[in-house]
């Protein structure tokens, strides 16, 4: 079943014999599947009836109320669990202090903080990561306006290099480019200039002075993969065009016309014909909230090759070089969540496996080595079921056999990023003022660990569990 969103009259249509094509949305499927179709004998095209529209509206309203009721029930259940955890954590903290007092250890000084970075002592805060909504920040009216403006794709296909791709969503190209809509948009893969005909594209690419690579600096090369860093302030047109193209495949991406504050990292496949872009990610030159990635896209023709994971790993490699911790911009899209969750899990499990017989490992240790923010580490440990809460203390319950099983289940996949092939220097910043620098992370305060330590078979320990990295 599908809904008719729009229709257009075809050439050759007459009042006696009207000919139409229809833009349809398949019910229960993402908008990226919307398409123009022609009525054929095997397709029954009927304008939606008023009764049918009312029935669907009533059904949607009922579903909305059911979803709200389930969310409220889930919220009450989580609040109840949090209260229980708070009570257990408080009791566990009192027992720990009594034990210290009996052993002659000094108690925390009066007025000393017992929480940091918004994480209460003894609580695993994973809600911020688990409940990711790509519509966040858009009220109901804004969402309706967004869907009304973008309900019909204005570009049917895009030809980039050797590939012709169906687009997924509307992109706000300036009207002077091609008017209201176009069937195929031709793009020069080296400069990202747009053309409305193949002949115009070929004429442009025949120029002898045409650079056959992205602008900016090549900062990585290994095998047939190359990465270019492009400054939005210096290559404004290229970066804006890249955003227009990305919007064709990202539904709720905010299109920034001011690209000056951003750096763009363009991944290319290299052959004797030049550098062919396969995807990119962008990030702010400096983020007040510690984001190391703003937008990421692998072009559909190059998906399922591991390039999305490569781009994520590359973003963290640069963060490691900057000696900071970082996290992707929230909220993430559905595809973003699918890419990041396995990356975090495999990276953290790989780190734990390589530690061998270390007796103490903290959240801060993991964060410093991987540059993954503490809340993302906690979320990932909780997701794989090795983060435990016992008597007011947190433990990583991870025997060697469990870690080996997790390493097989969540392997670090190819293509790998080779740090030796990176030729890049980070922007200079005042480390003392940069709260995301690992040099500003205090492993202890008041003599008590703020990060989760592990001992025992693989380890156990106590602490707030948050590590407070990136706060």
**Cα–Cα distance for residue pair 452/388, rounded to 1 Å:** 11
Residues 6+ apart with CB under 8 A from 63: none
Reply yes or no: is the peptide bond before residue 412 cis, omega within 30 of 0: no
The backbone torsions φ and ψ at residue 195, rounded to the nearest 5 degrees and listed phi first, read -140, 150
User: What tokens appear for 23 in the block?
Assistant: 């833009």
**Computed over its alpha carbons, how large is the radius of gyration of the chain?**
27
Print burial letters for 183-211: b (CB count within 10 Å at least 16), e (below 16).
Answer: eebbbbbbbbbbbeeeeebeeebeeeeee
Instruction: Give 374's contacts (C-beta < 8 A, 6+ positions apart).
Output: 117, 325, 363, 364, 367, 466, 467, 468, 469, 470, 471
Tokens of 296: 């990421």
- Residue 112 appears among annotated catalytic residues: no
Residues in the chain: 471
Residue with tokens 């009996």: 102
How far does the chain reach from its first CA to its final CA, in angstroms? 48
How many whole angstroms separate alpha carbon 397 and alpha carbon 382?
A: 11
Given the residues 322, 329, 393, 453, the one annotated as active site:
329
Four-CA torsion 398, 404, 410, 416, nearest 10 degrees: 120
Q: How far apart (Å, rounded) are the C-alpha atoms in residues 54 and 65?
A: 16
Candidates 120, 130, 126; CA nearest to 86 is 120
Residue 200, classed as helix, strand or coil, is: helix
228: helix, strand or coil: strand
Separation of alpha carbons 68 and 62, rounded Å: 10
CB 192 within 8 A of CB 204: no
Q: Is 198 helix (H, G, I), strand (E, B) or coil?
A: helix
Pairing state between β 393-396 and 387-390? antiparallel
Instruction: Tell me how many degrees the CA angle 334-336-338 measures, rounded to the nearest 5.
Output: 75
Q: Which residues pair with 220 in a beta bridge?
A: 227, 422
Q: Which residue has the tokens 């990356």?
A: 343
Q: Name the 3-class secondary structure at 171.
A: coil
Look at residues 414, 230, 234, 417 and name the one whose alpha carbon lies nearest to residue 321: 417
Identify the burial level of 82 via C-beta atoms within 10 angstroms of its C-beta, where 0-12 means exposed, 13-18 middle and 19 or more buried.
middle
Active-site residue numbers? 329
């Amino acid at each position: 079943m599908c809904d008719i969103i729009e229709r257009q009259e075809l050439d050759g249509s007459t009042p006696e014999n009207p000919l139409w094509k229809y833009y349809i949305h398949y019910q229960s499927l993402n908008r990226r599947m919307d398409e123009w179709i022609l009525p054929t004998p095997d397709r029954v095209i009927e304008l939606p009836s008023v009764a049918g529209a009312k029935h669907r509206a009533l059904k949607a309203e009922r579903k909305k109320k059911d979803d709200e009721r389930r969310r409220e029930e889930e919220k009450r259940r989580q609040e109840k669990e949090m209260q229980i955890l708070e009570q257990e954590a408080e009791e566990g903290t009192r027992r720990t202090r009594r034990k210290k007092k009996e052993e002659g250890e000094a108690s925390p000084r009066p007025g000393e903080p017992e929480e940091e970075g918004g994480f209460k002592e003894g609580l695993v805060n994973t809600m911020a990561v688990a409940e990711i909504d790509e519509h966040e920040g858009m009220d109901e009216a804004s969402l309706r306006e967004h869907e009304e403006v973008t309900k019909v794709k204005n570009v049917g296909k895009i030809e980039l290099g050797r590939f012709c791709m169906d687009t997924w969503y509307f992109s706000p190209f300036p009207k002077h480019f091609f008017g209201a809509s176009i069937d195929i948009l031709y793009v020069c893969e080296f400069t990202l200039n747009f053309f409305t005909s193949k002949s115009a594209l070929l004429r442009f690419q025949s120029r002898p002075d045409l650079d056959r690579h992205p602008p900016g600096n090549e900062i990585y090369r290994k095998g047939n993969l190359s990465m270019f860093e492009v400054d939005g302030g210096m290559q404004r047109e290229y970066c804006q065009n890249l955003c227009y193209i990305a919007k064709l495949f990202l539904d709720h991406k905010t299109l920034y016309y001011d690209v000056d504050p951003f750096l763009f990292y363009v991944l290319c496949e290299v052959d004797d014909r030049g550098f062919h872009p396969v995807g990119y990610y962008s990030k702010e030159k400096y983020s007040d909230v510690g984001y190391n990635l703003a937008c990421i896209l692998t072009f559909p023709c190059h998906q399922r090759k591991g390039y999305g994971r490569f781009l994520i790993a590359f973003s963290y490699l640069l963060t490691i070089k900057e000696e900071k911790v970082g996290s992707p911009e929230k909220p993430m899209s559905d595809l973003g969540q699918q890419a990041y969750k396995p990356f975090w899990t495999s990276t953290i499990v790989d780190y734990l496996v390589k530690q061998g017989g270390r007796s103490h490992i903290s959240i801060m240790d993991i964060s410093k080595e991987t540059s993954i923010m503490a809340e993302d580490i906690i979320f990932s440990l909780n997701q794989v079921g090795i983060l435990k809460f016992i008597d007011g203390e947190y433990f990583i319950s991870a025997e060697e056999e469990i870690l080996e099983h997790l390493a097989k289940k969540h392997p670090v996949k190819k293509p790998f990023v080779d740090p030796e092939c990176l030729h890049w220097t980070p922007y200079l910043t005042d480390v003392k003022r940069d709260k995301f620098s690992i040099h500003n992370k205090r492993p202890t305060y008041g003599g008590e660990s703020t990060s989760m330590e592990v001992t025992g078979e693989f380890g156990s320990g106590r602490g707030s569990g948050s590590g407070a990295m990136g706060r």
